Amino acid sequence: QVQLVESGGGSVQAGGSLSLSCVASGYNYGTYHMAWFRQAPGKEREVVACIHTDGSTMYADSVKDRFTISKDNAKNTLYLQMHSLKPEDTAMYYCAAGRWVGFAWPNSRAYSYWGQGTQVTVSS
């Protein structure tokens, strides 16, 4: 059974930092690209960052230079380091795994497996 379990969310003041983790199990972790998405109330789910199986990374413009995505294949774990957080970063954050078949990396349909999410709240 495939599982993606996020942790590390919480509340922080603007300018602060948080680190998210996502532990994967039940599938061949190394053969799937990974990503973080987020969804704020009343808004569509949007990609935050992704990491290819080869380790290359891509970021949404809104988080570039503030967030860092990384992974540890030995631990089947995906990470998201978030710095200089802004109130507009407030959202539920989800990790996802996919092979990007038929859809480009920012598209949620490119991902087959999803976690349940972890809440990040940034106050001004």
* Segment 58-101, tens digit of pLDDT: 999 999 999 999 999 999 999 999 999 999 999 999 999 999 98
pLDDT reported for residue 76: 95
Q: What is the mean pLDDT of the chain?
A: 96
Q: Characterize 80-117 residue by residue with b for buried, 16 or more Cβ atoms within 10 angstroms of its Cβ, and e for exposed.
A: bebeebeeebbbbbbbbbbebeeeebeebebbebbbeb
> What percent of the chain stands above pLDDT 70?
100
pLDDT reported for residue 30: 83
pLDDT reported for residue 77: 97
